[in-house]
Structure 1
Amino acid sequence: MDLRIKEVIKERGMTITELADKMGINRVNLSNMVNGNPTVETLNKIADAIGCPVTELFEQPKKDALTINCPHCGKSINIKIE
């Protein structure tokens, strides 16, 4: 399963540097965590700092081609074409 940590950070209007500051670590360490194989504990810390459920950090299977995520709040938007 793919991680979408960088996408969620961007959707929340944050940068890697801001998130690292909020977590009390430096940007390089956070980047290494995100680009490596983060532990469950690390994922929980990242989710807490971002303010989202840890499940949001994982790529979800596409249910419907007419569903997109809002780039501002991250909520799903269903699009109906008539």
Structure 2
Amino acid sequence: MSPAEMESHGITVHLDRLLAERGMTLTELADRVGVTVVNLSILKNNRAKAIRFTTLTKLCEVFGCQPGDLLGYDPGRE
């Protein structure tokens, strides 16, 4: 098994949907959360390997949502 296959996971991040629903840009979200646009882009494109609970908390505060609204599980992606 290759290193990339060993690190694959089935978690998806729904930033696109939440941004669209709230009419917010990635840059605006980055400013409000205190995370770089690059790091949010990594999350948005489902390339992140981890997320800090502090970042998840801030995203939920800004979006007014629960972690389950932001994250999903897709077993086909594993």
TM-score, length basis structure 2: 0.57
Residue identity in the other structure for 1:48: E
Q: Which has the larger radius of gyration?
A: 1
State how far apart, in whole Å, the 2-side matches of 1:9 and 1:38 are: 20
The aligned length equals: 61
Tell me the residue number matched to 1:39: 51
Q: Larger RCO: Structure 1 or Structure 2 (Cα < 8 Å, ≥ 6 residues apart)?
A: 2
Tell me the residue number matched to 1:58: 71
Could you tell me how far 1:57 is from its partner in structure 2?
Answer: 1.0
Higher helix share: 2
Could you tell me how far 1:46 is from its partner in structure 2?
Answer: 1.5
Structure 1 vs Structure 2 CA RMSD: 2.5
List gaps (5 residues or longer) in structure 1.
61-82
- More deviation in 38-47 or 13-22? 38-47
State how far apart, in whole Å, the 1-side matches of 2:21 and 2:39 are: 21
Identity percentage of aligned residues: 37
Residue identity in the other structure for 2:20: K
List gaps (5 residues or longer) in structure 2.
1-10, 74-78
Q: Which runs of 4+ in 1 moved over 4 A?
A: none
Could you tell me how far 1:40 is from its partner in structure 2?
Answer: 5.3
